[in-house]
């Protein structure tokens, strides 16, 4: 009899045991993940599409034996995450697809200067933060993609020309929440002033109508199929399309090249060293690799972007970077212009 009662007693603690057990598993999971941060490893927060960055990091992992842990999300989203995490962040480096996010992170004191001596010799000054908290790794240019059967390119000299009523119903633009559109408009704002950017945004909004696309690739597709005559995109989408389909009736057009003009709008993808990192030397190792010619080739060429390291030639299918002029507005200004330009884009009701 006693025995049975004892067994019953044991049974009564079952719910407690199960709760305890699940919490133990939970904590084990928690500790397990925390543990991963230790050791010869570098934690990368990346706003760059995983298919573009993963092969490069895999190569680094293979050649150096340093474990790379990757968290992919939106560039701005990661700035927010870094800020929310504060001193507890596990991130060692932050890779973003545009300078605006990097500069935003620097302004929030989330980054620290990269003290590698090679930075000054490899990365031209306009493409890095004044204190080297972040450096650009690859450049992308805003180009107009036009259908060669529908557009005479000699009629377009500036991006601002696209806002004229002549292009009504013929233009495709990126959607309002695209960081590229925000950065591009920011540079126009800085170069030409508030009136000009308002007219530009209003004009392209009216001309594009429903032809607003979430992806640059779709804009190039639409132009190639003749659905629209032209569109604004990052250059590599045009060249990627041409690489797949060399006969497509599309061509790139670099604008604003006139003497004293704004210059083509350029942005960089880059990397920053987090203020909280405890793995400065491994992080430096990764940054050094990404600046080196093999790293630059992998990082930029995988997406047909322009390597920032001048010693590394750009993809032969691209127009050489010496053949055009880019905007002289410092990329560091993108951060301070971000909020005003989002407000303006929202106010004008771009989709």
Partner 1 sequence: MGLGIAGLLTFPLAYVVYSALTGDLSQAGNLWNTRLPELLTNTFSLALGVSLTTLTLGVSTAWVITRYQFWGRGFWDWGFVLPLAIPSFVLAYVYTYLLDTAGPVEQAWQWLTYPEARIPSPYSFTGALVVMTLNTFPYVYLLARAAFQNFNLSFEEAAQATGATRWETFFRVSLPLIRPALVASMFLVVLYVVSDFGAVSLLRFQTFTFAIYQQITGRFDYQSAALLSLLLVLFALLFVFAERWFRNQSRFYQTSGRVRTATPKPCSLAQGLAINVVFVLILGAAFGLPVLLLVQWTVSAWIQGDVGVAFGTYIGNSVFLSAIAATAALALGTPLAYLASRFPSTLHVACLQGAYIGYVLPGPVAALALLMLFSTMIPILYGTVLVLIIAYLIHYLPAGLQAMESALQQVNPNLEEAARNLGAKGIRTFMQITFPLVRKGFSAAWLLLFLLCMKELPATLLLRPIGFDTLAVRIWLEASEELYQLAAPPALLIVILTIPAVFLLSKKNWQAGDASVQ
**Interface ranges with partner 1 (CB under 8 A):** 8, 11-12, 14-15, 18-19, 22-23, 25-27, 29-30, 33-34, 36-37, 43, 49-51, 69-74, 76-77, 79-80, 83-88, 90-91, 108, 175, 177, 210, 212, 214-215, 217-218, 221-222, 225, 227, 339, 342, 346-347
- The smaller minimum CB distance to partner 1, of residues 11 and 166, is found at 11
Tell me which residue of 341, 326, 47 sits closest to 182, measured CA to CA: 341
Cα separation of 60 and 288, whole Å? 11
Tell me which residue of 268, 309, 271, 280 sits closest to 115, measured CA to CA: 280
Name the minimum Å distance from CB 302 to partner 1.
14
Report residue 132 as tokens. Answer: 């080297």
Name the minimum Å distance from CB 229 to partner 1.
14
Cα separation of 142 and 161, whole Å? 14
Name the minimum Å distance from CB 89 to partner 1.
8
- The smaller minimum CB distance to partner 1, of residues 118 and 177, is found at 177
Separation of CA 146 from chain center: 24
- The smaller minimum CB distance to partner 1, of residues 132 and 218, is found at 218
- The smaller minimum CB distance to partner 1, of residues 109 and 225, is found at 225
Q: What is the DSSP secondary structure assignment for residue 55, as one 8-state letter?
A: H
- The smaller minimum CB distance to partner 1, of residues 87 and 322, is found at 87
Name the minimum Å distance from CB 26 to partner 1.
5
Contact 346, 176 (CB under 8 A): yes
- No. of H helices and E strands in the chain? 13, 11
> Which residues, in sequence order, are CB contacts of 50 under 8 Å at separation 6+?
70, 72
Name the minimum Å distance from CB 64 to partner 1.
18
């Amino acid at each position: 009899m006693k025995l049975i009662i004892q067994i019953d007693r044991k049974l009564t603690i079952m719910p407690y045991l199960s709760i305890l057990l699940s919490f133990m598993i939970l904590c084990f999971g928690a500790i397990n993940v925390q543990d991963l941060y230790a050791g010869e490893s570098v934690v990368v927060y990346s706003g760059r599409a995983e298919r573009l960055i993963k092969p490069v990091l895999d190569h680094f992992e293979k050649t150096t034996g340093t474990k790379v842990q990757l968290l992919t999300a939106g560039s701005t989203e990661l700035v927010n995450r870094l800020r929310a995490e504060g001193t507890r962040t596990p991130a060692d480096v932050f890779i973003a697809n545009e300078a605006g996010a990097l500069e935003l992170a620097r302004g929030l004191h989330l980054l620290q200067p990269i003290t590698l001596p090679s930075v000054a010799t490899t990365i031209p000054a306009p493409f890095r933060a004044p204190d080297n908290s972040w450096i650009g790794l690859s450049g992308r240019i805003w180009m107009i993609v036009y259908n060669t059967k529908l557009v005479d390119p000699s009629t377009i000299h500036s991006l601002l020309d696209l806002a004229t009523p002549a292009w009504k119903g013929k233009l495709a633009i990126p959607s309002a929440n695209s960081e590229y559109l925000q950065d591009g408009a920011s540079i126009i704002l800085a170069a030409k002033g508030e009136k000009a950017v308002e007219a530009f945004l209003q004009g392209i909004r009216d001309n594009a109508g429903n032809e607003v696309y979430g992806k640059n690739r779709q804009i190039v597709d639409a132009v190639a199929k003749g659905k629209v005559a032209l569109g604004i995109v990052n250059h590599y989408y045009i060249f990627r399309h041409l690489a797949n389909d060399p006969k497509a009736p599309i061509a790139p057009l670099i604008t604003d090249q006139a003497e004293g003009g704004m210059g083509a709008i350029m942005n960089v993808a880059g990397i920053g060293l987090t203020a909280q990192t405890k793995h400065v030397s491994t992080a430096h190792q990764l940054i050094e690799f990404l600046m080196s010619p093999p790293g630059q080739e992998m990082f930029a060429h995988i997406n047909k972007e322009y390597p920032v390291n001048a010693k590394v030639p750009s993809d032969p299918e691209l127009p050489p970077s010496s053949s055009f002029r880019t905007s002289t507005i410092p990329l560091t200004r993108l951060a301070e212009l971000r909020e005003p330009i989002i407000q303006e884009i929202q106010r004008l009701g771009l989709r």
